[in-house]
Structure 1
Amino acid sequence: MKKIALITGTSSGLGLETAIILAKNGYTVYATMRSLAKKEPLLARAQEEHIQLKVLALDVTEQQSVDNCVQTIIAAEGQIDLLVNNAGSGFAKTTEQTTEIEMQWVTDVNYFGVVRCSKAVIPGMRTRKKGHIINISSVGGLVGQPFNELYCGAKFAVEGYTEALASYLTDAFHIQFTLVEPGGIVTDFMQSAMEKTMTAGKMAHQAYMPILKKYMSGIKQRTEGSSQQVYQTPLEVAKVILAVAQNENPPLRIRTSEWAEEFCSLKTQADPDGTKSVERIKERFLS
């Protein structure tokens, strides 16, 4: 029996590659995006790969849009086995120069979008006592970085939210949770984040310019000359997602490259996959 997968943010990059690789490996894939006007690259790849995808509209910033999409899938398939919360956006700007609207937006897209989609699928998974939610986080969900504090804050929130859910829903209702933590992906997402950084630099207070120049120089060096492969391709990260989805006992946390592993090592060396922390939480609160 095929498993039903719902993936958000599939118009390009990691979401697109994840939709393709899951479909190639036997999943019935519902690939979603905010605007269906952007579906052609995904459909073209699906045709090239000779696979079938079901494409639906889903805006993670609107609960009604999320609910409508989930209800459509349930009506057609009766269940959702896998949710991949991939939709998100990069954001790099100092707190001092960030507007209230931008603060709300970066948190809404990167954190509340995950909550909304999870909220919509958990009831069905709980009733069936089966399901897996994979949240695409980042090394920025574990380690704060210059000019990325609002993005990192949203990803830290995703990490805490996911860990808390895993502390009681997995044992009680057999719903699995995994945080996938890339170090960097060469996609339109990354390009968008860099463009925002450059725009931020033009508007930044002069006091920040020496720091911003160092930051941008470091990004350029890592992009052009790193032997540690800082920035992965979307397909490389999608393969990690597939492996996690196929794992009957998936980790709570997984980094997707050696660079990401080393970058987060001071935070993760005592509990690399997060399972020890969850067990301690259960002992303290639920035993």
Structure 2
Amino acid sequence: MKKNILITGTSTGVGYEAALLFAKNDFKVYATMRNLDKSTPLKEAISADNLDIELLPLDVSDNESILKAVNTILEKDGKIDYLLNNAGAGFAKTLEQSTLEEIDWVTDVNYTGVVRTTKAVLPHMREARSGHIINVTSVGGLIGQPFNEAYCAAKFAVEGFTEALATYVSKAFNVKFSMVEPGGISTEFMTNAVSKTANDKGEFATGEYAPIFQKYLEGAQNRAEAGEASPYQTGKEVAEIILDLALSENPPLRIRTSKWAEDFTQLKTQADPDGSKVIAQIQATIN
């Protein structure tokens, strides 16, 4: 029987590319998205290559929607081998500029959604004594960055959540956990981030924050013009790393997706690049 995978956020970007790539590598793919009206490009790709992909509606902000999708898969296959928590949204504003509603939204989409889907799938993997949960986080889950405090906080939360589960669930129940930590991804994710960032005048930072934001942008532009490595990758490039991770017999807890991401996070990761040392240290206290 084929291995199967549930992927969230497959309408564009990494999720879209991962759905195609896993299907082309002999996985049964359950490609989910909040709004199936956005599934036309994926449907066309499925038809063109006769791919084993089934589309399901799943909104990571809606627990009933998650449970319905999970139960549909279990009724068809009796198992879920992999969960790829990919759905997320970018956001960059100062704390003062952000509304509490926006902060709640960023946290819900990027962190609580991961908790909901993991909570729905984990019992079945535990009972099967098999499974791999892969969470797409970010270098922003390791390094706080200007104007990204709400987004970074949500991704930091995913990092802590995943690491904590890995300390005791993996060894006891053979359920693996991994975090994929890209830099920027040049997909619709970035377009959506911009649309959520600007105020009604199209400004990204106002008042006393405006000159800081301008210097931040100028610095990024100067580094690009100087030929420094770009943080941006394509969704396909990141998806290829996710596939390699899924196929690995002993997948790491953490993996960055580019040299830029490795260099950017080195001060935080050099003592334990893949997270295995800290997991072993904590497991030693409970075994």
**Corresponding residue of 2:186:** 186
Report SS of the residue matched to 1:168.
helix
**Change in CA separation of 1:23 and 1:40 when aligned onto 2, cut-off 3 Å:** same
**Corresponding residue of 1:20:** 20
**Corresponding residue of 1:250:** 251
**Change in CA separation of 1:66 and 1:202 when aligned onto 2, cut-off 3 Å:** same
CA distance in 2, matches of 1:236, 1:221: 25
Structure 1 runs of 4+ aligned residues shifted over 6 Å read none
1:222 and 1:230 in contact (8 A); partners too? no
**Corresponding residue of 1:275:** 276
Amino acid at match of 1:228: A
Amino acid at match of 2:263: E
1:3 and 1:81 in contact (8 A); partners too? yes
Q: TM-score if structure 2 supplies the norm length? A: 0.96
**Change in CA separation of 1:188 and 1:222 when aligned onto 2, cut-off 3 Å:** farther
**Corresponding residue of 2:87:** 87
CA distance in 1, matches of 2:274, 2:262: 11
Amino acid at match of 1:215: Y
CA distance in 2, matches of 1:162, 1:83: 13
Matches within 5 A, 1:56-205: 56-199=56-199, 202=203, 204-205=205-206
Amino acid at match of 1:133: I
**Corresponding residue of 1:240:** 241
**Change in CA separation of 1:216 and 1:48 when aligned onto 2, cut-off 3 Å:** farther
CA distance in 2, matches of 1:69, 1:220: 43
CA distance in 2, matches of 1:21, 1:221: 35
The one-character-per-residue Cα deviations of 1:25-75 (angstroms, maximum 9, x if unpaired) are 010000000011111011112223331310000000011110010000000
User: How big is the shift at 1:19?
Assistant: 0.3
The one-character-per-residue Cα deviations of 1:252-273 (angstroms, maximum 9, x if unpaired) are 0000000000000000000000
Amino acid at match of 1:165: L
The one-character-per-residue Cα deviations of 1:150-182 (angstroms, maximum 9, x if unpaired) are 000000000000000000010000000000000
**Change in CA separation of 1:50 and 1:90 when aligned onto 2, cut-off 3 Å:** same
Report SS of the residue matched to 2:284.
helix
1:223 and 1:231 in contact (8 A); partners too? no
CA distance in 2, matches of 1:29, 1:49: 14
User: How big is the shift at 1:230?
Assistant: 1.7
Amino acid at match of 1:211: I
> Structure 1, unaligned stretches of length 5 or more?
none
Q: Greater CA deviation, 96-105 or 126-135?
A: 96-105
Amino acid at match of 2:283: K
1:92 and 1:148 in contact (8 A); partners too? yes
User: How big is the shift at 1:203?
Assistant: 6.6
> Is residue 2:229 matched to residue 1:228?
yes
**Change in CA separation of 1:224 and 1:130 when aligned onto 2, cut-off 3 Å:** farther
Q: Greater CA deviation, 45-54 or 71-80?
A: 45-54
CA distance in 2, matches of 1:275, 1:218: 35
CA distance in 2, matches of 1:220, 1:6: 38
The one-character-per-residue Cα deviations of 1:233-281 (angstroms, maximum 9, x if unpaired) are 1110000000000011100000000000000000000000000011111
> Structure 2, unaligned stretches of length 5 or more?
none
User: How big is the shift at 1:218?
Assistant: 3.4
Identity of aligned residues (%): 55
Across the aligned residues of Structure 1 and Structure 2, the Cα RMSD in angstroms comes to: 1.5
CA distance in 2, matches of 1:88, 1:230: 18
**Change in CA separation of 1:112 and 1:220 when aligned onto 2, cut-off 3 Å:** same
CA distance in 2, matches of 1:14, 1:221: 28
The one-character-per-residue Cα deviations of 1:103-151 (angstroms, maximum 9, x if unpaired) are 1100000000000000010011000000000000000000000000000
User: How big is the shift at 1:223?
Assistant: 5.8
